[in-house]
Structure 1
């Protein structure tokens, strides 16, 4: 056994143990966590959020400033104590007046409402906004009418000069539906004891076939158009109304781009996401400089911005717009407001069902006490432009004298919009053969005056809101998700955009069966709709039937009667709307929420009732409140007598609410097109009580994550 070495021997060999009180490592030592009593207050207090901390700090600074100003005012008034108090109060009142949100915010807040066709912009202190087309014309080798293979819509002529058969040009399916709608209108007018001439359609067609244009020289035309003159050298791009007045045969050619289409970013006509948002920023920049007079970008840092977004928005679009407004435009503060909420602000309503009919989309949402009810939000991809196209298509079907009309051409598009505004009406009393005229003005050519007759086209075209299969919906999904990916959650990869039970109900009704097994959740092969076919009416109305079925059960149970085997047939709709049954024995189809291959186009009256049903959730009082407070806004709602017609359709669908159903209009004779902008401008003045402003400092630190804390709704 080896003996133990002495301390001296270890020291001589360098093996002696020494303790110099030094740590084994310079890396910080963390004490073990007590697993029994583990607790943390991380992100559990408001002062741990930068957004709340900055807001509290701003309020504290403002309170300190007010106190100092009051003390200074008291110190300056020494001669008379009474006058000193009066002056102190006066100074304090003047200071309060300077800090009044209405004055300060009103003159330094820019309100922007971007639409598919028009941009509305102005200061919050303005009574009405400035409106300009949301379009930009860029230099190109061809214009938009030369790029399109098939003009929309257009009637062709044979080689001998005679008109082609309309049914052959427009297709037998569309012609058949148009004829059916005309027959239904005729039967409805006869039932309402309205006198009609014999064979009115044939008389209109024969009159139109005989017409030839009258030529008016340019110097004799008092309303000749001022066309946009190109500079030398030509501009790279032209924005707004001047872009629509560029001659189609200009040298060089210009091509129109509409960055927003159908309420979505226009991915069909753009090749890159950068160019798409560049055009949006150029249009906004030109509007701020031209219409608001803020020529220097250095001054923009003194201004705040209120930006209106859709109720069912896409987060990728909102975050991109936020970055543009903060980084590129350099605004001091930015906040967002949803369209329907802004509409109630503009109209002064506390609760309402807002129906916003725009140029290319229709949004429906129930608003209660300053909040959009999430599950009531509906977004339909149809609007006033569809009425314009369908109206011209119907006129061409009835041998419109100007057979060469092409809505891809700028002057023809403006002419079609003018004809729609003048002729379209939902008043059946005005449906009769009538003579009209219009002037065709083309750059470099003499003006042509055309005479024509119209019968029921002006009524049947806006009827497409209630029978949307008459609209041309074939190209609205082209290019979808080509440039902008769907926003997804960074943790679980699930879609991140807001959803709505009402929208899901409508999408489920329109959806074909899932392609995995050819049927959806137990549907038999015989009941599964054709994937290629356009959904028919019974399929569209099934959403309303299911909702009414859900509502019928609690009402019947109150009376003590047992629930029926099948859903009660909902109240009969207007002419052409079949009764709906939804058998409970068949399994329900799975809800459709996140499919981009389904176009949400649905009858307007059924969509409104679907939205209200999801907002009320079987609450009878809420149902009566919303159904009696329907407010229709937007440019597409300006069709004559649309409100009365919609009200009659809703009463026919729900006869149990005959007395409650009422369609309201914006108060104080406010233009329906600017109600949303007006509400956003009022919202911009509420700087004292509005906590949704996003400042530069917090955006630089947190970016778009701030939206979760700043928005008044669940972002």
Structure 2
């Protein structure tokens, strides 16, 4: 009898035993399970993992390697080395750093576009070139012929036309007449208070003289300052499709074919009134910059721009679509090799050589106010007012026409009248009360195809009251400044939730509230009850809850009964009242609320007296720090073309001291130092910044990086919060 075999022997003999042949069940790589209690990853936690940080470092390394190779090649060809090997290595590193940081300033272009002028130049230029930011395109009619030839300033019409018998005092409506006369009375009272001589019949002298003033005709060949107008070929097919810059402003209105002027930037942002499409805006801005580069800087071949860097100046309180479109124009359309974006106020401090200041930039159609501290713009202090020097020009002409200006056909929609009005404003407007006297002036009117006309006229207080519009904006005409807004360029929204993401500031909200008539306090300080943060916990006091529990006999207080912050988009039960038990719960949509708030802001034109706006910006920029408040209020820098009005800084300083008598000794309003032109100090700051060492400066956007990531690079490349 055979003995009983074990189970293991049976498996072995019958071939059922499992053997290991060291072969995997599959060739796919097997990933071990992650320890859920302790795991770690370095994904997107180091700067070299971002293209925006890695690419500049790789370029610097490549330049150092190339510099070392060049030196080795020079030594191989018999160059005599100087110094020790350690010194040679240090010199090579310094040479590489210098070549990477201090690039050739002649290859640096600085662009500062505005509503009226474009300033551009090389990094080696002491002053920029100035070109009108306008393009004239072939059109069916000129701009002065649109809307049945409606003039600017707009005259009131009766039965569709301006009656010839109407007096100039009634041309602009009763509201303007009342405001103008009230400002005249206030100025007379102020001058008497300041012991200034005031003649009782000054206004009558001006009106009577202007009524009788005649005109003298001068033949064109006798006019030594005659204007060379842009010639248009008689052949339609040979006529250019567009003109830019000064040539566009010198085209006769009655040219054949007709040309219409387009100003792509209006009030500091895109002009959506005269444009109907985004592509037209894109191409007009591109052509203006391209022609300026060719005519002013001699860069005739756009392919060479790949070897140039560009510092582009943007507003402090910008719109994201504005920045992204212009960045796309500079890199993809024009082909710059590298582009850097810088804010206007920060650039102004670079140009002036100061570290802390409150920058007040009065441009042609906008006024920006911002506090700059330690090389950064204080976000909550940024203000953008939609008024500027062009409003002063229009108000000055309206006041002159009101006082029977001898050239009563003045129309700012005509190109030669527009240039004449700018010339008269720059010559005669002043904020010095000593200049408010009856004075006789003359000017020459030069129109295409006509003899030169010489006019003589008198002025009194119009030269000062028109500039006073900065302190009383209601005298300006704001009726058409919001026309077409958001009709061409939509608002920028967040990629994930669709909420508006254009930058905004607390100071700008104060301006919006003031313009909308909802402001409760305009004394430059915030109401303490309104400045408290909104709490998401119940409003009852935790201290009172603790006392109640102790009075109820609890020896040890329980944990707080205050709820956690309520998630967005959910109802808050603590806000319910006993009577609302049967009512449905109301859900909050934060995206919808932000969109509605942005829509309401877009309906209000941000306009405010400039002195009060400065105080609001300084108050919110100081954040309650009295030392910073005194630094800002003692470092108000007045720049921009609109600030060149004589004695405007002194008058603004007086107004600020009247509003803040406690800081009367600290308040100081001054122009840029070192006798800088107030119009070019921002451009000069961009030039200074572009020539600084790029060591640690990662704000340059290269063409290769932009082609890969597009405008997403701005999150890592901007010196400000994007």
Q: Report what 2:51 is aligned to.
A: 50
Q: State whether structure 2 residue 628 is matched by structure 1 residue 659.
A: no
Q: State whether structure 2 residue 663 is matched by structure 1 residue 684.
A: no
User: 1 CA distance for matches of 2:242 and 2:231?
Assistant: 13
Greater Cα shift, 150-159 or 57-66? 150-159
- Aligned match for 2:279, one of 271, 274, 277: 274
Check the 8 A contact 1:638/1:672 in 2, yes or no: yes
User: 2 CA distance for matches of 1:82 and 1:677?
Assistant: 42
- Aligned match for 1:252, one of 250, 257, 266: 257
Deviation at 1:493, TM superposition (A): 1.4
Q: Report what 2:681 is aligned to.
A: 675
User: 2 CA distance for matches of 1:239 and 1:48?
Assistant: 45
Two-structure CA RMSD over aligned residues (Å): 3.1
Closer, same or farther in 2 for the Cα pair 1:22/1:238, shift >3 Å?
farther
User: 2 CA distance for matches of 1:332 and 1:78?
Assistant: 34
Q: State whether structure 2 residue 485 is matched by structure 1 residue 485.
A: no
Deviation at 1:180, TM superposition (A): 0.5
Greater Cα shift, 40-49 or 393-402? 40-49
User: 2 CA distance for matches of 1:449 and 1:156?
Assistant: 28
User: 1 CA distance for matches of 2:247 and 2:79?
Assistant: 64
Deviation at 1:492, TM superposition (A): 1.6
User: 1 CA distance for matches of 2:434 and 2:156?
Assistant: 33
Q: Report what 1:205 is aligned to.
A: 207
User: 2 CA distance for matches of 1:82 and 1:417?
Assistant: 63
User: 1 CA distance for matches of 2:663 and 2:75?
Assistant: 64
Check the 8 A contact 1:632/1:663 in 2, yes or no: yes
Greater Cα shift, 319-328 or 463-472? 319-328
Local SS of the residue matching 2:673: coil
Deviation at 1:155, TM superposition (A): 5.6
1:221-240 map, 5 Å:
221-231=223-233, 232=235, 233-240=238-245
Check the 8 A contact 2:525/2:619 in 1, yes or no: no
Check the 8 A contact 1:309/1:337 in 2, yes or no: yes
User: 1 CA distance for matches of 2:528 and 2:665?
Assistant: 22
1:449-460 map, 5 Å:
449-460=454-465
Deviation at 1:370, TM superposition (A): 0.8
Q: State whether structure 2 residue 142 is matched by structure 1 residue 137.
A: no
Deviation at 1:198, TM superposition (A): 2.2
User: 1 CA distance for matches of 2:501 and 2:479?
Assistant: 27
Check the 8 A contact 1:155/1:404 in 2, yes or no: no
Give CA deviations for 1:400-453 in whole Å, capped at 9, x if unaligned: 111111000001001100110111000011101111111111111111111111
- Aligned match for 1:618, one of 621, 624, 629: 624
Q: Report what 1:320 is aligned to.
A: 325
Check the 8 A contact 2:156/2:173 in 1, yes or no: no
Deviation at 1:494, TM superposition (A): 1.3
Closer, same or farther in 2 for the Cα pair 1:422/1:551, shift >3 Å?
farther
Q: Which runs of 5+ in 1 are unaligned?
A: 1-18, 513-528, 530-538, 554-589
User: 1 CA distance for matches of 2:25 and 2:398?
Assistant: 86
User: 2 CA distance for matches of 1:20 and 1:447?
Assistant: 108
User: 1 CA distance for matches of 2:376 and 2:402?
Assistant: 46
Q: State whether structure 2 residue 696 is matched by structure 1 residue 696.
A: no
1:143-542 map, 5 Å:
143-149=142-148, 150-153=150-153, 163-231=165-233, 232=235, 233-511=238-516, 542=521
Local SS of the residue matching 2:120: strand
Check the 8 A contact 1:77/1:84 in 2, yes or no: no
Greater Cα shift, 446-455 or 61-70? 61-70
Q: Report what 2:64 is aligned to.
A: 63
Closer, same or farther in 2 for the Cα pair 1:320/1:157, shift >3 Å?
closer
Check the 8 A contact 2:63/2:96 in 1, yes or no: no
Q: State whether structure 2 residue 709 is matched by structure 1 residue 708.
A: no
Closer, same or farther in 2 for the Cα pair 1:24/1:289, shift >3 Å?
farther
Local SS of the residue matching 1:148: helix
Local SS of the residue matching 2:44: coil
User: 1 CA distance for matches of 2:443 and 2:356?
Assistant: 43
- Normalised by the length of structure 2, the TM-score is 0.82
User: 2 CA distance for matches of 1:215 and 1:465?
Assistant: 37
Closer, same or farther in 2 for the Cα pair 1:192/1:75, shift >3 Å?
same
Q: Which protein shows a greater Rg?
A: 2
Q: Report what 2:587 is aligned to.
A: none
Deviation at 1:511, TM superposition (A): 2.4
Local SS of the residue matching 2:468: helix
- Normalised by the length of structure 1, the TM-score is 0.83
User: 2 CA distance for matches of 1:154 and 1:210?
Assistant: 24
